[in-house]
Amino acid sequence: MFVLRGTVVTMGTDGAVLPGGAVYVGDDGLIAAITPVDAVPDGFGSTPRAVAAGRGFIAHYGWSSSAGRRGTACPRC
């Protein structure tokens, strides 16, 4: 399990952006939650955290299927 903190640009149709967001990844490697940075889901209290800073792009496993919808890079970074 780990937590990646930083700006989160969602792949939803509304393209929501969480400037202070956190992506929680479970032991199975799947995203367990996406929340504002201060909202910690149950079970993740002592999980290692990494801070993403600067320009970058981290995609979920199916990024190519959504690339046509949102582009292949973060449009707001």
**CA angle in degrees (0–180, nearest 5) for 33-10-77:** 125
Structural domain boundaries, residue 27: 2-70
Query: Is 9 domain-assigned?
Result: yes
Q: Residue-wise pLDDT tens for the chain (77 aa)?
A: 999 888 888 777 887 888 888 989 999 888 899 899 889 999 999 998 888 776 666 655 444 444 444 444 444 44
Strand partners, 49: 3
Q: How many structural domains are present in the chain?
A: 1
Classify residue 63: in a domain, yes or no: yes
In a domain, 75, yes or no: no
Beta-ladder partners of 5: 22, 51
Report d(CA 27, CA 29) in Å as an integer: 5
Cα diameter, the chain: 37
Question: Does any domain span residue 77?
Answer: no
Tokens of 37: 């940075």
Q: Is residue 59 part of a domain?
A: yes
Segment holding 19, helix H or strand E: strand 17-25
Asked whether residue 50 is assigned to any structural domain, the reply reads yes
Q: In this predicted structure, what is the pLDDT of residue 57?
A: 61
